[in-house]
Structure 1
């Protein structure tokens, strides 16, 4: 009796697993804000602030490149 009950439970579990596998996959929607080339500053109301921030970002990138070059040469640790 116990073996019969175990077989029935196993069949029910297998049917449940197979039934769930046919459910459609839910994928997240793509948002332009999360794309690598999209600039979040486009939505700001003041274009001057956008330009200032872009210049600060550019200066920071250049500063980091210089520091990395110095570190590669062994000049700064």
Structure 2
């Protein structure tokens, strides 16, 4: 699946040693997508900044928390391209 949009925000997160950057991507003015750059993909984000337009190829990763039972859907970036 691909998503095109404008970068609104880039946030670094480190949870229990799991590093990632979460990008708020605005495909249009009504919705937002939160996509995750993990591992070596974090380096792919280096040339981009807020207000840049990009297209990302993502995979959908669903999880259920072992502790709370809460269900999560994550959009994990596989590739990023300038627009």
TM-score by structure 2 length?
Answer: 0.17
Higher strand share: 2
Task: Select the structure of larger CA radius of gyration.
Answer: 1
Higher helix share: 1
Q: Which has the higher contact order (CA 8 A, sep 6+)?
A: 2
